[in-house]
């Protein structure tokens, strides 16, 4: 009887332990499950935060409108570069932060650009395409920084807003480029940037002979596309005269009325502004004599698509540096260093890939342009292609 009772007690004890053990195992499994769910939740939250941060940093600043699409890039004539080497930084960098790196041989890249420029300038058969008088129109394009003996020639649609900010800081109007209000940059009554045309002849000559002089270029056809988008499609600064005055005048002269202007063509594929089509704009630009007559009517607004030759007279003014928009991430710090101002101001951050040549975009915009009109446009801007080493766009012309 005693043995039987003891056996029952031990059996009951084992059964309780088994039940408790099962409960403990199930609880442990549930605990691990919820820990895993919580960990996954934290990972997703971190990914969402990181994604928002990355998107924020890839937003394009004011002077680089549009999205960063698929890009193909050509380094022009300069394809072989040595590895980048950090610049030795001066001690007084509290205002500008760490300096960007420049390839150690970038000076040779700039020298080759100037050699190409000088060689084309000497070609007498291209003289009509490469030379222009240093007149008031040219002098109006050149901004002056007397404090640091710098001249900057404005070539719109290549990041000029940012260079203006650099000069405004150097002239002492503001201490940092980030502090400059956008409405001040292009207001030449407020931004403190004198133009060379405002000075006397002797003062102009002295500055042209002795100051550091530079300007920026980009592929001429990409620049034309950028001008069309900025002034006739987006018009971000609300300059209504482009759509209300200039566009109608171009349409009246260059629209081919045998094509239905209100037809079934896909607007997105034809890249049309309301009223003005890109093909109208191309015909206008390719008609040398007709364009000049209209330009006199349009006034200074045409600087956004006038040739580099007419804007800056590169064969008639001896420039120290010619930067390229496609390699601006390296040209900008090089220019600052060559001008001796890299410790005073920095060029604003350039979004990754935003300056690279985009052949896909060029092909898309020119998809509705006939070969005849494309060739006329090239002939109009051939001087800009040749002077700065941009290859002939055979894929559009032949």
The 3-class SS string of 319-378 reads CCEEEEHHHHHHHHHHHHHHCCCCCCCCCCCCCCCCCCCCHHHHHHHHHHCCHHHHHHHH
Q: Is residue 186 part of a domain?
A: yes
Quote the pLDDT of residue 28. Answer: 65
Q: Is residue 66 part of a domain?
A: no
Q: Are residues 214 and 359 in the same domain?
A: yes
Angle between helix axes 278-286 and 371-387 (nearest 10 degrees) is 60
Q: Are residues 11 and 120 in the same domain?
A: no
Mean pLDDT of the chain: 79
Quote the pLDDT of residue 1. Answer: 46
Q: Are residues 130 and 237 in the same domain?
A: yes
Q: Is residue 246 part of a domain?
A: yes
**Residues in the chain where the model's pLDDT stays below 50:** 1-3, 5-6, 9, 11-15, 19, 22, 49, 51-62, 64-99, 258-269, 273
Q: Is residue 63 part of a domain?
A: no
Dump the DSSP string for 18-38.
HHHHHHHHHHHHHHHHHHHHH
Q: Are residues 293 and 351 in the same domain?
A: yes
Domain encompassing residue 210: 84-397
Q: Are residues 13 and 135 in the same domain?
A: no
Q: Is residue 244 part of a domain?
A: yes
- Give the chain's radius of gyration (CA, Å): 31
Q: Are residues 181 and 224 in the same domain?
A: yes
Quote the pLDDT of residue 300. Answer: 81
Quote the pLDDT of residue 308. Answer: 97
Quote the pLDDT of residue 40. Answer: 63
Quote the pLDDT of residue 296. Answer: 87
Q: What angle do CA 45, 49, 55 make, to 5 degrees?
A: 145
Helix (H) or strand (E) holding 79: none
Quote the pLDDT of residue 39. Answer: 67
Burial environment of residue 37 by CB neighbours within 10 A (0 to 12, 13 to 18, 19 or more): exposed
Q: Are residues 23 and 160 in the same domain?
A: no
Q: Is residue 234 part of a domain?
A: yes
Overall number of domains in the chain: 2
Quote the pLDDT of residue 93. Answer: 30
Q: Is residue 79 part of a domain?
A: no
Residue 315 DSSP one-character state:
T
Q: Are residues 113 and 47 in the same domain?
A: no
Phi-psi group of 256: left, alpha or beta (phi > 0 → left; psi -120 to 50 → alpha; rest → beta)? beta
Q: Are residues 90 and 7 in the same domain?
A: no
Q: Are residues 185 and 269 in the same domain?
A: yes
For the whole model, what pTM was predicted? Answer: 0.73
Q: Is residue 348 part of a domain?
A: yes
Q: Are residues 221 and 148 in the same domain?
A: yes
Q: For residue range 258-279, list pLDDT tens digits in order.
A: 344 444 444 444 555 458 999 9
Residue 371: Cβ within 10 Å count = 11
Quote the pLDDT of residue 10. Answer: 52
Q: Are residues 304 and 198 in the same domain?
A: yes
């Amino acid at each position: 009887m005693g043995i039987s009772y003891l056996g029952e007690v031990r059996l009951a004890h084992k059964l309780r332990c088994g039940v408790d053990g099962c409960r403990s195992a199930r609880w442990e499994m549930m605990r691990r499950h919820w820990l895993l769910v919580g960990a996954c939740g934290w990972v997703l939250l971190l990914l969402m935060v990181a994604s928002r941060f990355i998107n924020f940093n890839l937003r394009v600043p004011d002077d680089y409108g549009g999205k960063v699409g698929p890009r193909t890039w050509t380094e022009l004539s300069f394809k072989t570069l040595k590895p980048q080497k950090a610049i030795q930084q001066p001690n007084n960098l509290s205002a500008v932060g760490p300096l960007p790196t420049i390839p150690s041989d970038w000076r040779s890249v700039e020298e080759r650009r100037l050699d190409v420029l000088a060689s084309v300038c000497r070609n007498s058969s291209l003289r009509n395409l490469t030379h222009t008088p240093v007149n008031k129109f040219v002098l109006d394009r050149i901004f002056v920084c007397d404090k640091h003996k710098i001249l900057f020639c404005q070539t719109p649609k290549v990041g000029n807003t940012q260079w203006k900010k650099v000069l405004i800081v150097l002239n002492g109007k503001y201490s940092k480029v980030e502090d400059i209000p956008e409405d001040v940059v292009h207001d030449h009554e407020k931004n403190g940037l004198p133009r060379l045309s405002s000075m006397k002849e002797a003062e102009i000559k002295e500055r042209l002979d002795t100051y550091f002089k530079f300007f920026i270029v980009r592929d001429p056809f990409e620049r034309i596309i950028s001008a069309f988008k900025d002034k006739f499609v987006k018009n971000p600064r609300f300059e209504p005269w482009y759509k209300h005055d200039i566009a109608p005048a171009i349409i009246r002269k260059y629209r081919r009325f045998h094509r239905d202007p209100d037809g079934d063509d896909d607007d997105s594929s034809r890249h049309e502004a309301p009223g003005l089509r890109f093909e109208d704009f191309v015909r206008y630009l390719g008609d040398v004599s007709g364009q000049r007559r209209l330009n006199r009517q349009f006034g200074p607004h045409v600087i956004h698509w006038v040739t580099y030759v007419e804007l800056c007279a590169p064969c008639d003014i001896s420039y120290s540096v010619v930067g390229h928009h496609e390699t601006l991430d390296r040209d900008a710090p090089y220019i600052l260093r060559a001008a001796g101002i890299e410790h005073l101001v920095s060029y604003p951050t350039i979004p990754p890939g935003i300056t690279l040549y985009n052949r896909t975009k060029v092909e898309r915009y020119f998809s509705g342009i006939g070969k005849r009109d494309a060739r006329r446009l090239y002939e109009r801007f051939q001087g800009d292609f040749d002077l700065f080493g941009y290859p002939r766009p055979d894929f559009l012309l032949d």
